[in-house]
Amino acid sequence: MPELPEVETIRRGLNNQIAGLRIKSVQVKKARLVKGSVKKFIAVLTGNVFLEFNRRGKLLIAALKSGQFLLIHLKMTGQLIYQHGRQLIAGGHSFVGMDWRLPSRHTHIIISFRDGSRLFFNDLRQFGYMKIVSKIELEKELKKFGIEPLTAGFSLKNFVEIFANKKTTVKALLLNQKLIAGLGNIYADEVCFYAKVKPGRRVYSLTEGEIKKLYQGCRVILAKAVKARGTTFSDYVDADGRQGRFIKFLKVYGRKGEKCRRCRRGVIVKIKQGGRGTHYCPVCQC
């Protein structure tokens, strides 16, 4: 799943590529990926202009010239692919054997621009969505999100308050978008490794020092990942056509069976936790 660093990188790339372009036509091949009326969705977008792209957590927010907004959530396997002539650049989930012929069998929405370029919304598992909202509706949507680790409001005091009196596991809390927006499976594992905390630990068992290290990890790991343009696995490139480089810095995620890069004694294990694959070192994370 694309997480905060990947979605932020996509946002910047879309601003570079399609902000200011007028929409010529919209084709919806799979109605389930549009939240609300498909007829209204097409009517609002046709002839409209993308002014700029913003982001909240993992949610992309496209401001339209009409005053409305297009929300885009890539969920587990969503991709945005921009085609201009022979140029093909993509952002979002990567999967082996990606079909670069467009539209492909995984293409569900096509937005065509007057300059001849097109934006494809592909989704293998079809959990992602697009949605037209008003300014008032957008404000309601944004209230669903917790604080973001790379914002000024993400203070140690606020972080400690989030952890207070919680009985859940550390990883489950980090993944709760209503509390902390933007972390997903990859970076939650990396933050726990940074703090030397086992992902399955109960929050109430943490010391003040461990909570502080988790706080620092959220900021350090995500800032580094954004700078590296996200994490690239196999076919993923960002919306400017460049690959994310953070995979080189991953310490536990995707490293099952490898020797721990910190303690050099443990071997990274992968377990199922809350239905998700979870990676950690059983020696230096406790």
Alpha carbons 191 and 194: distance in angstroms, whole number = 5
Closest of 257, 253, 284 to residue 268, by C-alpha: 257
Q: What is the pLDDT of residues 34-67, one digit of tens each?
A: 999 999 999 999 999 999 999 999 999 999 999 9
Q: How many CA atoms lie within 13 A of 12 on its CB side?
A: 13
Alpha carbons 129 and 109: distance in angstroms, whole number = 10
Q: In what order do the strands lie in the sheet with 59-64?
A: 34-35, 129-133, 69-73, 59-64, 50-56
Alpha carbons 237 and 216: distance in angstroms, whole number = 28
Q: How confident is the model at residue 237 (pLDDT cuts 50, 70, 90)?
A: very low
Torsion region of 271: left, alpha or beta (phi above 0 gives left; psi -120 to 50 gives alpha): beta
pLDDT for the residue numbered 191: 98
CATH class given for the domain over 156-280: mainly alpha
Reduced to 3 states (helix: H, G, I; strand: E, B; else coil), residue 121 is: strand
In one letter, which amino acid is 279? H
* Same fold yes or no, 4-142 and 156-280: no
Closest of 230, 277, 235 to residue 253, by C-alpha: 277
The answer to whether 219 and 230 have CB atoms below 8 angstroms apart is no
Q: Report the catalytic residues.
A: 2-3, 58, 276
**Percentage of the chain modeled with pLDDT above 90:** 73
The number of beta carbons lying within 10 Å of the beta carbon of residue 153 is 7
**Domain 4-142 belongs to what architecture?**
Alpha-Beta Barrel (3.20)
The answer to whether 78 and 2 have CB atoms below 8 angstroms apart is yes
pLDDT for the residue numbered 243: 52
Output the pTM of the full model: 0.88
Closest of 193, 191, 249 to residue 217, by C-alpha: 191
Question: Does 251 count as an annotated binding residue?
Answer: no
pLDDT for the residue numbered 233: 39
The answer to whether 150 and 219 have CB atoms below 8 angstroms apart is yes
In one letter, which amino acid is 34? V
Task: Give residue limits of the domains in the chain.
Answer: 4-142, 156-280
279: β partners:
270
Question: Does 196 count as an annotated binding residue?
Answer: no
Q: Which two tokens stand for residue 131?
A: 């949605």
Q: Which two tokens stand for residue 59?
A: 């949610």
Q: What is the pLDDT of residues 138-151, one digit of tens each?
A: 999 999 999 999 99
Q: What is the pLDDT of residues 93-137, one digit of tens each?
A: 654 445 567 898 999 999 999 999 999 999 989 999 999 999 999
Question: Does 245 count as an annotated binding residue?
Answer: no
For strands 78-84 and 118-123, give the pairing.
antiparallel
